[in-house]
Structure formats: structure tokens, C-alpha cells
Amino acid sequence: MAVTKAAVLKAPYNISLEDVQKPEPGVREILVRVRATGICGTDVKMYSGKWKVKLPLIIGHESTGEVAGVGKEVTAFKVGDRVVINPVFSCGECYYCIKGRTNLCLSGGMLGRERSGTYAEYVVVPQRMAFKFPDNISFENATVIELLVTVLHAQKRIRIFPGDSVAVLGQGAAGLLHTRLAKLSGADPVIVISRSQWKLDLAKRFGADKMVNATTDDVCAKIKEYTDGRGADVVIESVGSPETIRQCVTLVRPGGTVLLFGICPEPVDAFNAFPFYLNEIDVVGSRAMTDEDFEPCIRLVASNTVNVEPLITHRFPLGRLKEGLDFMCTSATDALRVAVIS
């Protein structure tokens, strides 16, 4: 039996690099030698026990690598191809899959959560879940493509017109990408809100027109100031906290749109729904991505239209994954994206 290395989560905060059986691709599958994986907030929640999953489990899902083997019916890939992985799997036969809403498949799930993930040297995926990317994108930078894909998918669910005012709550990696795509859509002004001044400074490089420091500024007053007293046409919530979700209602104009992008699994207490009736506010949710979202994002990164280089702030080898996860749990105030190199 051929063996390889993978990081196995056995209990909250208990993860270690172990020998596991090397996977073999099926007839329509490819074997990927994983080169880099991003540490996602979902990984941190599973590692810390805040998100319950069946253990033991190999977590990790935002990955890139090289094709190391192909099944006998695979025609789209060859050994050596550089690929980014779509971690969302689906059945392909249910009502939602037939409608093209594979991200909503009731039998689906995600690598590193319902199935073994990518904090490993090798992973096997169906060929439809892999997408080639060019040599001018590094493996590390390409891990951001999966996040960019979720941002693009979300913004496709709303309408940003040239000249629309867009407020983005939170300037983590996802918020910065929302800022960039909103600007590319012609939004003006793009107003960014963060508690971290260094993130606000970075947001300027991603196209932000106006910066609001939530620690020192009256956020609502600033948004009104920058939008002629109306409120923002579109408010994008990219934090995923009850506080910022409640805040969206005060920032959006009557007739405007709120995009809830950040993942908030807890109830939002003291939430007043009356403004949604009174001001006819549209509220849009977004979950993951579909296959069609990948190619446009690969082109955006390959052309440097979206420069993801500044988003990779920390790197850890696979053997120090626990250190990277602990860092994200306790002291990652200066982190945007952490890449695990395998």
C-alpha cells in the first residue's frame, strides 16, 4: 500500500501530520499533488470545535496543485497541469443541479468538511472540479482564486451599476476582493469600513474611494456624508457578525440592496425587520460558487486585473499546520490570507 502524508484532525485543537493511504483516481478523476492551501475561516471553526464535523477528518479545501495522475476516461487533463480545485461537490442529478444551482445540492458538500480535504500531499477529485491556471500565477496566489470565485458569485446575485454607491463592511481578504470587483463594475464611490487602519490603507490599492474607520468614526454619519444623505445603494456585509448585520440596515438607502456575504451561523438578536418593509430594502444571500464562476476569476488574476499578491500575508509548511491554525485562532490581527505549503 502506497502511503503519503496528510494532516488529520482528531479532536478540537488536536491535529497532526500522519501517514495515510495514497489515493488513486477513478476513471473520471484526477490525482492532484497539492502545492498550496489557504487557511479559511471554516477550517478555523472546525479546528476549534465551533463547527461540528465527523472526526477524524482531513480538513482544508482552498487548494492548488499539479495533476499527478489521471483516470482512464479523463481527457481534459494531463500530468503536470496546474489546477485550482473547486471544493464544492454535488450529485449532478437533483432539482438544484439540473437548474445549475450545484452549490445548493441537497446531497452535496465540501472537501475538508463532508469528505477528506486538502491539508495533504495528495487529493483525488472528479475532473469537473479542477480548473487549469497559467504559469504566471503562483500556487500560493492561486489559492485566493477560490475566495475570489465566491465573491464574484455573490456580486452576480445583485446588480451594481456604474455610479452606484457601494459600502463594504469589513476589509479582510473577502472584503478587499468585494471592494475591487465593485470598483471594476463602475461603482462610485466605493466606501470601505474597517476597524483596522492598515486594512483601510490597503483598500485604497483595491479601488476604495472613501475610508471609514469604525473605531473612531460615526459609521452611519460618514456613509450619509458620502452619499448625499441617502445611504448606500448597495451594502456588502463581509464580516459575518450579528453587529455588522444589524448595522447594514442603517447604512443602506431606501430601495437599496444588502448583500449578506459573511457567514454568521449564530442568531442575530434584537434584529428589527421593520425597515425592510418601510424602506423596501432587498436582502440577498450567497453561498459558495458554481463551476461557471471559476474561469472569469482565473482570467482576472492572470491579467493582474485583480492583484491577489498583497492578500498572502503569512505562510506555513504543511508540517507546521497546527501552528498556522493556532495563529489564526489567537493572534492573527495582522493576517489576511495564510497559505499552507505542501
Q: Which of 36, 87, 86 is nearest to 66 (CA)?
A: 36
Average pLDDT of every residue of the chain: 96
Query: How far apart are the C-alpha atoms of 135 and 317, rounded to whole Å?
Result: 22
pLDDT tens sequence across 290-315: 999 999 999 999 999 999 999 999 99
Q: State whether 129 and 180 are in the same domain.
A: no
Residues paired with 265 in a beta bridge: none
Boundaries of domain holding 236: 158-285
Name the domain count of the chain. Answer: 2
The mean pLDDT of 126-130, rounded to a whole number, is 96
The mean pLDDT of 188-204, rounded to a whole number, is 97
Query: How far apart are the C-alpha atoms of 333 and 236, rounded to whole Å?
Result: 22
Q: State whether 144 and 70 are in the same domain.
A: yes
Q: What is the CATH number of the domain that holds 114?
A: 3.90.180.10
Q: State whether 17 and 137 are in the same domain.
A: yes
Residue 54, judged by CB atoms within 10 A of its CB (0-12, 13-18, 19+), counts as: exposed
Q: State whether 10 and 143 are in the same domain.
A: yes
Crossing angle (nearest 10°) for helices 139-156 and 173-184: 60
Q: State whether 146 and 16 are in the same domain.
A: yes
270 pLDDT band, cuts 50/70/90, is confident
Residue 313's alpha-carbon distances to 96, 179, 309, in angstroms, are 37, 18, 9
pLDDT of residue 117: 97
Query: Is the pLDDT at 331 greater than 90, yes or no?
Result: no
Domain final position from 262, 285, 308: 285
Residues paired with 26 in a beta bridge: none
pLDDT of residue 177: 98
pLDDT of residue 185: 98
DSSP state of 313: E
Query: Is the pLDDT at 82 greater than 80, yes or no?
Result: yes
pLDDT tens sequence across 221-241: 999 999 999 999 999 999 999
Q: State whether 177 and 232 are in the same domain.
A: yes
Q: What is the CATH number of the domain that holds 178?
A: 3.40.50.720
Report strand pairing: 252-260 vs 14-21: unpaired
**Looking at this protein, which amino acid is placed at residue 45?**
K
pLDDT tens sequence across 157-187: 999 999 999 999 999 999 999 999 999 999 9
pLDDT of residue 264: 85
Residue 185's alpha-carbon distances to 159, 171, 173, 179, 299, in angstroms, are 9, 18, 19, 10, 16
Domain final position from 267, 285, 303: 285
Query: How far apart are the C-alpha atoms of 332 and 320, rounded to whole Å?
Result: 16
Domain final position from 285, 304, 327: 285
Q: Which segments of the chain are extended strands (E)? A: 3-11, 14-21, 29-38, 62-70, 82-85, 88-89, 109-110, 122-126, 130-132, 166-169, 190-194, 210-213, 232-237, 252-260, 282-285, 312-317, 337-341
330 pLDDT band, cuts 50/70/90, is confident
Task: Assess contact for 301 and 136: CB atoms under 8 A.
Answer: no
DSSP state of 144: H
The mean pLDDT of 238-246, rounded to a whole number, is 94
The mean pLDDT of 139-146, rounded to a whole number, is 98
Q: Which three cell numbers stand for residue 188?
A: 462610485
pLDDT of residue 28: 97
Q: State whether 142 and 18 are in the same domain.
A: yes
Q: Which of 106, 84, 85 is nearest to 94 (CA)?
A: 106
pLDDT of residue 136: 98
pLDDT tens sequence across 23-51: 999 999 999 999 999 999 899 999 999 98
Query: Is the pLDDT at 272 greater than 90, yes or no?
Result: no
Q: State whether 175 and 61 are in the same domain.
A: no
Q: State whether 278 and 311 are in the same domain.
A: no
Q: State whether 277 and 293 are in the same domain.
A: no
Q: Which three cell numbers stand for residue 207?
A: 479601488
